[in-house]
Amino acid sequence: MKLWSHPDAETLKLVEIVNKTKRNNFLEIGCYNFSMTINFILMSNQPNLVIANDKIDHSPETRALIDKYHSKMFHFVLGDSGEIETQNKIKGILKEKKLDILFIDGDHGRGHVESDTNNYADLVADDGYIIWHDTVHGAHKSFEPWFIEQLNKNILINLFFEGESRIGWIQGKEWRRYVSRK
Ligand SMILES: C[S@@+](CC[C@H](N)C(=O)[O-])C[C@H]1O[C@@H](n2cnc3c(N)ncnc32)[C@H](O)[C@@H]1O
């Protein structure tokens, strides 16, 4: 399956990571036109939550269509991921549930990737994963220093660089171990 901005090899890697989890609850920061969101919906187990956040409602027709067929699981949260209001809305949807997948693909500037990580990582289950997309060297020439490469000096981040694929991921409990050591 070929998705916008995701080469096949990367999509397969994402499927592999998702398959290591319970596949119940997903949060995508920066969902653009929902092409990855739809993938998460297809991969998810029932009962589930697929929360898609973006600061812009890029594709209202697609959103309405997903909502029509998946209204129980699908939640679109419009707002800047850095805003407390957005964070509270997402926490309100999750209630006590933990995320199996946190997919960080919003603003790719270092400060934003870092704040998205810090603001949402606590919501990830111990056996869930934080996945960063395109936040590594070569993804966008204008963003330096590279958050993942900086992080990788202190903690082992799994990386998949192949062709145009640039993703990094870490399990929730590994992330917390790293944060508690800082
Ligand atoms: C690369 S696209 C996401 C692609 C999508 N995740 C996918 O896999 O198909 C990045 C998206 O992040 C959104 N974005 C940028 N800054 C954001 C922010 N601060 N909060 C929420 N969304 C943001 C943009 O509007 C854009 O739709």
Contact 55 CB / ligand 1 (< 6 Å): yes
pTM, full prediction: 0.93
| Rounded distance between C-alpha atoms, residue 6 and residue 14, angstroms | 10
Average pLDDT over residues 147-173: 82
Asked whether residue 173 carries a pLDDT value surpassing 80, the answer given is yes
Please name the residue whose Cα sits nearest to atom 1 of ligand 1.
105
Interval 46-79: pLDDT, tens: 889 999 999 999 999 999 999 999 999 999 999 9
CB 100 within 8 A of CB 23: yes
Ligand 1 midpoint to CA 133 (Å): 11
Q: Is residue 139 pLDDT above 60, yes or no? A: no
Tally of helices (H runs) and strands (E runs) in the chain? 7, 7
Residue 175 pLDDT class (50, 70, 90 cuts): very high
Task: Report all structural domains of the chain as residue ranges with CATH numbers, in order of start.
Answer: 8-181 (3.40.50.150)
| Alpha carbon separation from 153 to 147, 156, 157 (Å, rounded) | 10, 8, 9
Query: Is ligand 1 within 6 A of the CB of residue 31?
Result: yes
